[in-house]
Amino acid sequence: MTPTIKDIAKAAEVSVTTVSRALNGYTDVNEETKKKILRIADELKYSPNIAARSLIVKKTKTLGLLLSGITRSSIKDNIAFEILCGMNDRSGELDYDLVLFNTTSQKQRMKSYKSLCLERGVDGVIIMGIRLDDPYLQEIVQSSIPCVLIDIPLAEKNVGSVSTDNVSGAYQATEHLIRGGHKHIGFINGHAQAYVSIKRLEGYRLALLDHDIEYREEFIADGSFSENGGYESAIMLATKHPEITALFCASDLMAIGAIQGLKNIGKTVPENVSIVGFDNIAISGYCSPTLTTIHQNKYDMGYRAAQMLVDMLEGRQVHPHLTLPAELVERQSVRILS
Amino acid sequence: MTPTIKDIAKAAEVSVTTVSRALNGYTDVNEETKKKILRIADELKYSPNIAARSLIVKKTKTLGLLLSGITRSSIKDNIAFEILCGMNDRSGELDYDLVLFNTTSQKQRMKSYKSLCLERGVDGVIIMGIRLDDPYLQEIVQSSIPCVLIDIPLAEKNVGSVSTDNVSGAYQATEHLIRGGHKHIGFINGHAQAYVSIKRLEGYRLALLDHDIEYREEFIADGSFSENGGYESAIMLATKHPEITALFCASDLMAIGAIQGLKNIGKTVPENVSIVGFDNIAISGYCSPTLTTIHQNKYDMGYRAAQMLVDMLEGRQVHPHLTLPAELVERQSVRILS
DNA sequence: TGAAGTATCCGAAACGTTTCCGGTAACGGC
DNA sequence: GCCGTTACCGGAAACGTTTCGGATACTTCA
């Protein structure tokens, strides 16, 4: 058996109360006895039982993670991973542990969001990759469990959000193309149930507007954020509208698919059509041609999300919505016309 | 307050004992009362308190993860991520949750491995990315906590391991180069404190031996598994030994660095020197030239590791060492000499 | 000398479960 | 009418902590 506080008490010839107080750094315990207790605890290799502890103070020092991106299909665009790294680093610094919730399995999917959190006894939750039409989202809003959402700004008590400035990012991407002399610019978006898609579309339209270019619905396609979606959308757009000389893609993965798609119908990037992506995933710096894209600081998103959540948990004032800057990184996939 | 078993008992006019038994599917409770209890539990939105529960049955249904690869530096080679995906999927299916241990922070680093696990009350642990000279490794061996190691086969009670067949992988890589007509083959390895490095060196030597090619110590360099390490090692090897026409790199990231390094001194891949990597990370299929490499089924490693651990936990017989096959995937980075 | 203050400690309850041990009632067989 | 069996249920202890409300003894000051 592993030693308990009781064993220490016995060995030190004091009460469990005193041991508890000594261990938790209370003042009203004699320096001598405190030293003794600490020494004995060390000798016995005592380590506290978190379950018992959290049974009475209702805190567990753990954050729950509801990440839909931790799955086989999202290995290439390891956005979830980068965000996870940031969260992991910051929560470690703040002395919180992270628990991954399994939302994939059927069994778990039945459970309500709230009971999921309650059972595990997490203090708060970070959620990402959730669709706007996901029933969980409703629950989250209603439940009083503190949480921060990645990429969905919800105005509710106890919920915060962090995201990249998507409209600025999309604006920069589109404007970059326009400045390059492009007038017919297609847009491969994600899907309608993603908040970022809505925002990126907004940025795209705004840029067109500001430069007096007509917005044309038929220049838009949804690529569902997948490589294959980008592939097919690019082919579709390029064949239906051969006047298009540039494509803005709402994700790098779709951009990479688009490059392949275009190649497949005999068009090369950037000679025939220019492309700018979004995300700045690792691959985009290595593929051919390397991808001009909008950089999202994914690591930072995770880092700041963790920070915000524990700020909320520990009663500090927080600004509930954090938007990180997006930044254009120029590489080889766009051609500057004359 | 969230409802407890006591509230249900009161509402159903039975004892807490009966409620507990009904909820846990014991047989000796009347169908009628059972139904009633279940209904009431549902109405009250009851969800059990795991802390209280695990206080008495000493199981938590959580697995601890000690992953050194979850950090900012390892974003490009997202090997840890793929493994994590596999673990996450399988543990979800088996109804276990995952908790990420923070081994990075100083505070945590002081804690012993055992107390780390004890405190969190995890049932078992999966460990990866640990160096052979890490003091934790000693502790792990000694502690009786069930664990499975990724890429380190330790023959101890309660510890299992899963890894790729590294010697076979390295053998295939080297042989592929030899079959391609290369006779002077350099090897950029990781570092001496990695088990996989030892094995990959073994495979490299074996292949040379089998094909009557002299093993030359000076053809070997350590690139510490980093892109930059590969870059510098490649330059070093190629300038010191211009007769080298092929390089086997113990990781794709180093291989990619090597390609850059070679380019920097005016050599192109594969025209001047051929390269084969190891891992088959996402980038290797997109970089230029695309990388011939040894495929590791990272997802599967995680999947099987989770499987093995819960097999151990639930008392099933397991074979403690699992080796997954490595597979050559041919792409553009090696040139077949006439 | 006595009262008030201070430093140090302790007993017991509480947290939400599970489980051991036992009890009651009904029923069938002899 | 008694006994053994079966079906169902409850009391209470236990798990390892924290915390509330004192209690004791020693010091200090008037």
Of B236, B233, B266, the residue nearest B249 (C-alpha): B233
Residue A133 Cβ under 7 A from any strand C atom: no
Nearest-CB residue to B48 (from A107, A119, A283): A119
Per-residue pLDDT tens over the stretch A325-337: 999 999 999 999 8
Mean pLDDT of B79-84: 94
Per-residue pLDDT tens over the stretch A25-43: 888 889 899 999 999 999 9
Q: Which residue has the higher pLDDT, B26 or A268?
A: A268
Of the listed ranges B70-74, B152-156, B247-251, B298-302, the least confidently predicted one is B70-74
- Over 80: is that where the pLDDT of B130 sits? yes
Q: Which residue has the higher pLDDT, A101 or A85?
A: A85
Per-residue pLDDT tens over the stretch B199-258: 999 999 999 999 999 999 999 999 999 999 999 999 999 999 999 999 999 999 999 999
Chain A, nearest residue to B99 by Cα: A99
Chain A, nearest residue to B302 by Cα: A72
Mean pLDDT of B326-338: 94
- Name the pLDDT band for A68 (thresholds 50, 70, 90): confident
A303 Cβ contact partners less than 8 Å away, ≥ 6 residues apart:
A86, A87, A89, A90
CA dihedral over B166, B169, B172, B175, signed as positive or negative: negative
Residue A15 Cβ under 7 A from any strand C atom: yes
The beta strand positions in chain B, using DSSP E, are 62-67, 97-100, 124-128, 147-150, 159-164, 185-189, 220-222, 246-249, 274-276, 293-295, 321-324, 327-329
Q: Do B287 and A288 touch (CB under 8 A)?
A: yes
- Over 70: is that where the pLDDT of A93 sits? yes
Does residue B289 have a cis peptide bond before it, meaning omega lies within 30 degrees of 0? yes
- Over 80: is that where the pLDDT of B164 sits? yes
User: What confidence score (pLDDT) does residue B121 get?
Assistant: 84
Whole-number percent of chain B with pLDDT over 90: 77
Judging contacts by C-beta atoms under 8 Å, the chain B residues touching residue A120 are 50, 97
User: What confidence score (pLDDT) does residue B273 get?
Assistant: 97
* Beta carbons of A227 and A254 less than 8 angstroms apart: yes
Burial of B320 (0-12, 13-18, 19+ CB in 10 A): middle
* Beta carbons of B105 and A95 less than 8 angstroms apart: yes
- Name the pLDDT band for B104 (thresholds 50, 70, 90): low
Per-residue pLDDT tens over the stretch A220-234: 999 999 999 999 999
- Name the pLDDT band for B71 (thresholds 50, 70, 90): confident
Whole-number percent of chain B with pLDDT over 70: 97
Distance of A109 CA from C13 C1′ (whole Å): 39
> What's at A131, amino acid-wise?
R
DSSP state of B219: G
Q: Which residue has the higher pLDDT, A142 or B218?
A: B218
- Over 70: is that where the pLDDT of A110 sits? no
**Rg (chain A; Cα; Å):** 26
User: What confidence score (pLDDT) does residue A303 get?
Assistant: 97
Mean pLDDT of B316-333: 96
Task: Give the integer Cα–Cα distance in Å for B180 and B200.
Answer: 20
Task: Give the integer Cα–Cα distance in Å for B92 and B80.
Answer: 18
Task: Give the integer Cα–Cα distance in Å for A112 and B42.
Answer: 12
- Over 70: is that where the pLDDT of A82 sits? yes
Phi and psi, residue B130, nearest 5°: -90, 140
Per-residue pLDDT tens over the stretch A169-228: 999 999 999 999 999 999 999 999 999 999 999 999 999 999 999 999 999 999 999 999
Neighbours of B104 (CB within 10 A): 16
Of A166, A60, A41, the residue nearest A121 (C-alpha): A60
Phi and psi, residue B293, nearest 5°: -155, 175
* Beta carbons of A84 and A306 less than 8 angstroms apart: no
* Beta carbons of A85 and B75 less than 8 angstroms apart: yes
DSSP state of B180: T
- Name the pLDDT band for A259 (thresholds 50, 70, 90): very high
Judging contacts by C-beta atoms under 8 Å, the chain B residues touching residue A85 are 70-72, 74-75
- Name the pLDDT band for B313 (thresholds 50, 70, 90): very high
User: What confidence score (pLDDT) does residue B302 get?
Assistant: 97
The beta strand positions in B118-272, using DSSP E, are 124-128, 147-150, 159-164, 185-189, 220-222, 246-249
Mean pLDDT of A291-299: 97
> What's at A146, amino acid-wise?
P
User: What confidence score (pLDDT) does residue B334 get?
Assistant: 97
Distance of B33 CA from C22 C1′ (whole Å): 21
* Beta carbons of B78 and B282 less than 8 angstroms apart: yes
**What's the angle, vertex CA B144, arms to CA B139 and CA B147, rounded to 5?**
80
Judging contacts by C-beta atoms under 8 Å, the chain A residues touching residue B47 are 114-115, 118-119
- Over 90: is that where the pLDDT of A141 sits? no
Rounded to the nearest integer, the mean pLDDT of chain B is 92
C strand bases under 7 Å from protein CB: 7-12, 14-20
Positions 19-38 of A with beta carbon below 7 A from strand C are 28-34
Chain B, nearest residue to A290 by Cα: B287
- Over 90: is that where the pLDDT of A300 sits? yes
- Over 80: is that where the pLDDT of B113 sits? no
Mean pLDDT of B58-73: 87
Per-residue pLDDT tens over the stretch A114-126: 777 777 889 999 9
Rounded to the nearest integer, the mean pLDDT of chain A is 92
Judging contacts by C-beta atoms under 8 Å, the chain B residues touching residue A48 are 119
Nearest-CB residue to A70 (from B51, B85, B114): B85
Which domains does chain A possess? 5-48 (1.10.260.40), 62-165+298-325 (3.40.50.2300), 166-296 (3.40.50.2300)
Q: Do B100 and A100 touch (CB under 8 A)?
A: yes
- How many residues are there in chain B? 338
User: What confidence score (pLDDT) does residue B151 get?
Assistant: 96
> What's at B296, amino acid-wise?
Q
- Name the pLDDT band for A105 (thresholds 50, 70, 90): low
Nearest-CB residue to A76 (from B50, B60, B282): B282
- Over 90: is that where the pLDDT of B16 sits? yes
